[in-house]
Chains A and B, each alone.
Chain A
Amino acid sequence: ETGVTQSPTHLIKTRGQQVTLRCSSQSGHNTVSWYQQALGQGPQFIFQYYREEENGRGNFPPRFSGLQFPNYSSELNVNALELDDSALYLCASGVSRQNTEAFFGQGTRLTVV
């Protein structure tokens, strides 16, 4: 067990709606990254937060946004949901910005209908 927890575990939304996913990082970790994993694929990097600021972003549109809070918990927000947003969303926390090792939560399975 990594100590990274995500909520909810499953979610069904309608196209065009907005969704907020939550992550609680492992104690002592100050970076959090979000990944999208489509069925049968490896995870794709969305963005990383360090000390409450975005510290890198993958090839995802602006309707994907995030927040990191002082207690190192984090949110991923997705606006104007599309069918292709259906995926497993993974949160990963790290010890520091320099340390590459990422420890993943169990993920949130989002289905857009």
Chain B
Amino acid sequence: GQQLNQSPQSMFIQEGEDVSMNCTSSSIFNTWLWYKQDPGEGPVLLIALYKAGELTSNGRLTAQFGITRKDSFLNISASIPSDVGIYFCAGSSGSARQLTFGSGTQLTVLP
């Protein structure tokens, strides 16, 4: 089945620093989504990308849909303590609307 490789697995950064994480796939996706999950909660949708090459921002978050349709990255600028959590990429392709998730990036923001 489809596999998403998400990296890095974990990150420790200082408050105020910028963060970058990415996902790659062996298969083409038509849609890329980025979610954040806090402990004991369900994932919350951050950004949705629908076209190859698309660059979309949501506040301090910026995400891009790779030209090859096999990758995506998420950048967080000027990190703050509430950015702590697990970030997941997810892709969808073809007529199936199921999401294939990456394994997550655990982000820790140090004061």
Contacts and interface: CB of A to CB of B under 8 A. Distances in A.
**A and B associate:** yes
B98 A56 contact: yes
Interface string A16-56: 00000000000000010101000011111100100000011
A106 B42 CA distance: 4
Nearest to A109: B40
A38 B41 CA distance: 14
Interface in B74-111: 88, 90, 92, 96-104
A42 B44 contact: no
A100 B103 contact: no
Interface residues of B, number: 26
B1 A56 contact: no
Nearest to A45: B98
B99 A45 contact: yes
A58 B44 contact: no
Contacts of B11: none
A48 B98 contact: yes
Interface size class of A (residues with CB under 8 A): 20 to 34
Contacts, number: 69
B3 to A, nearest CB: 11
B63 interface: no
A107 B45 contact: no
Nearest to B97: A100
A97 interface: yes
25 contacts: A2-B42, A33-B99, A35-B99, A40-B104, A41-B103, A42-B4, A42-B101, A42-B103, A43-B101, A45-B99, A45-B100, A48-B98, A56-B97, A90-B43, A97-B97, A98-B97, A100-B30, A100-B31, A100-B48, A101-B45, A101-B48, A106-B41, A107-B40, A107-B41, A107-B42
Interface of B: 1, 4, 6, 30-31, 33, 35, 40-45, 48, 88, 90, 92, 96-104
